[in-house]
Amino acid sequence: MAKNNFQLALEATLVHEGGWSDHPSDPGGATMKGVTLATYRRYRPGATKEQLRAITDADLHRIYRDGYWDAVRGDDLPAGLDLALFDFAVNSGPGRAVITLQTILGVAADGKVGPITLAAIAKHPASLLINELCSHRLAFLERLSNWPTFGKGWSRRVAAVRAEALSMTQSPPREAVPPAKPIDSLPPERGRTPAFVIAAIVLAALVAAFFITQVRF
């Protein structure tokens, strides 16, 4: 499981969420960095659009952690699948994202990640689930009435999340990468005379030439 991927997943998601938006065709309405005004008001009752636009990093992290990452149990998911499910949840709601995954897995689709869902996840390669989830997600988005307006952006987002999530399943642990050897410990290249030996030879030749000169004159 990937218990430390929240920050990585958040950074990847924020790339697609951008900054301020208040598009008339967006049912979410006023949005800042992916957080809608309605969502923000659950944490800051009575908040205005101006306050949403000035949302702090602390509030942003709290909302994404509590409302989305923890809602899909990101810490208990395999690396890569955590990002794919988290980004789906941010874009379309945790309930829909989890129900879509549960439908793929063939378990009861109640919108909550519990022991049965986690056990079913463990039976499949993360890469397979990521591909299936992203394909189902895109199919859902294509059925929405505002697909003509946002479809290109959604397609790029799903494709980027799919690629990033799949790469996370293949990345070796950081501690598995051996540290580089210090330069001083590297063996000298075979067939080459070390520099200090050449310097000693040159110095000896200069000294010898000096004494020869003294003898002649």
Which range marks the domain in which residue 200 is found? 190-216
Task: State which amino acid sits at residue 131.
Answer: N
| Residue 138 and residue 205 share a domain | no
Contact 79, 168 (CB under 8 A): yes
Q: Are residues 143 and 205 in the same domain?
A: no
Task: Output the average pLDDT for the chain.
Answer: 83
pLDDT at residue 137 tops 80: yes
Look at residue 146 and tell me if it is in a domain.
yes
Q: What is the pLDDT of residue 22?
A: 76
State residue 20's pLDDT score: 85
Instruction: Give the DSSP per-residue string, 148-180.
Output: HHHHHHHHHHHHHHHHHHHHHHHPPPGGGSPPP
CATH code of 55's domain: 1.20.141.10
- For the stretch 50-92, pLDDT in tens is 999 999 999 999 999 999 999 999 999 999 999 999 999 999 9
Asked if residue 156 and residue 202 are part of one domain, the reply reads: no
Q: How many domains in the chain?
A: 2
Q: In this structure, is residue 62 part of a structural domain?
A: yes
Could you tell me if 165 and 202 lie in one domain?
A: no
Mark whether 138 and 209 lie in a shared domain. Answer: no
155 located within any domain: yes
pLDDT tens for 81-133 read 999 999 999 999 999 999 999 999 999 999 999 999 999 999 999 999 999 99
The tens digit of pLDDT for each residue in 31-54 reads 898 899 999 999 999 999 999 999
Integer-rounded Cα radius of gyration of the chain: 29
Do 204 and 124 reside in the same domain of the chain? no
Same-domain status, 115 and 199: no
Residues 58 and 133 in one domain: yes
